[in-house]
Structure 1
Amino acid sequence: MVASKYPGPAANSLQPQRPLQLVQGSLSGRAGGRRAPWLMGLHRATDGTLAGLGLCMLTLSGLTLHWQNEWGQSFQALESAQVLEHRLQESAAQLERHHLSRAGQPGQLVPTSSDRLIFMPPPPALPQSSSGLPLASLNWQPAAIGY
């Protein structure tokens, strides 16, 4: 027990306080608005700026994720195109090796002569439609320099 010359508060004099009443009062700009209106205006401007910056941050985060996804898809398409190009080059090299090996073995090839030639009649002409050939409607122009 502690001795004090001041009487302690009575149990019935304590008032129940709302939770976070102290914090709500300190962050509110209303109490200071009566004494300093410019401070209340500054408080509102700061709140608006903070909310605007938060929205800008969310927008830029969303755009960054979108652009990162687009870049990833484009990079996958590039890699698959490179794989297909490599396969095409390998196939062309394999065909070239095959034809060169056949040319290197003259016994496998049949010599050409005029009595073994077969003449075939030309194919019948296709009827021309009013629209013409599909490729004829394309506008063919030379590519620009650098492409």
Structure 2
Amino acid sequence: MVSHTLYEKKVGQFQKKKLPIVFSNSFFSSKNVQRKFPIHTALHIVLDGALVGVLITVAIMSSVALHSQYLWTKSYTKLEKTRDLNRRILESTSILEGYLLKNQKLSRYLVPTKAEDLIYLERPNPLNPKSLAKKTFKKRFLERISFFPVKSGY
């Protein structure tokens, strides 16, 4: 191998760049500072570690806050859609009820009343064995059905 440079290369060794003597023996070299001020150096190391820890904590907390904000926004969007669907269902139910009440034949026979016009009767006991034995199965079945509460409206 032929080299066309004026300087010799040392094979297998790294060449070191030598600093002037003024900089190598200066007051601010790290080894000199460590020897002269060990507490000061240790304080700097601790503060550097603390700053790195604070930066990592801020990064983690920022990512957690952004992720939770994303999840909250997603849930709120679902809630808005659910409320809109609920409102639409209520509107369609009221439209259907209005239509059925207008077209029902029984509504002509119903009369508006007041609370004073109502008569309250005591409920007969359907489990009385003497009255049930005398009646036919069909009558008993119809009586039991008539005692169930009737839900109107929604």
Deviation at 1:58, TM superposition (A): 0.4
Contact 2:101 2:107 in 1 (8 A): no
1:58 paired with 2:59, answer yes
1:79 partner letter: E
1:139 is aligned to none
1:41 is aligned to 42
Q: Aligned ranges for residues 56-135 of structure 1 at < 5 Å?
A: 56-103=57-104
1:76-120 CA distance string (max 9 Å, x none):
00000000000000011001110111126979xxxxxxxxxxxxx
Which structure is larger by alpha-carbon Rg, 1 or 2?
A: 2
Contact 1:30 1:40 in 2 (8 A): no
Deviation at 1:32, TM superposition (A): 2.4
Deviation at 1:33, TM superposition (A): 1.5
* Whole-Å separation in 1 of the counterparts to 2:45 and 2:36: 15
* Whole-Å separation in 1 of the counterparts to 2:104 and 2:80: 36
Instruction: List structure 1 segments (4+ residues) > 3 angstroms apart after TM superposition.
Output: 25-31, 104-107
1:31 to 1:85, Cα distance in 2 relative to 1, 3 A: farther
* Whole-Å separation in 2 of the counterparts to 1:79 and 1:41: 57
How many aligned positions are there? 85
> Could you tell me the percent identity over the aligned residues?
29
* Whole-Å separation in 2 of the counterparts to 1:65 and 1:75: 15
Contact 2:27 2:33 in 1 (8 A): no
1:49 partner letter: A
Q: Which runs of 5+ in 1 are unaligned?
A: 1-17, 19-24, 108-147
* Whole-Å separation in 2 of the counterparts to 1:45 and 1:30: 17
* Whole-Å separation in 2 of the counterparts to 1:31 and 1:65: 46
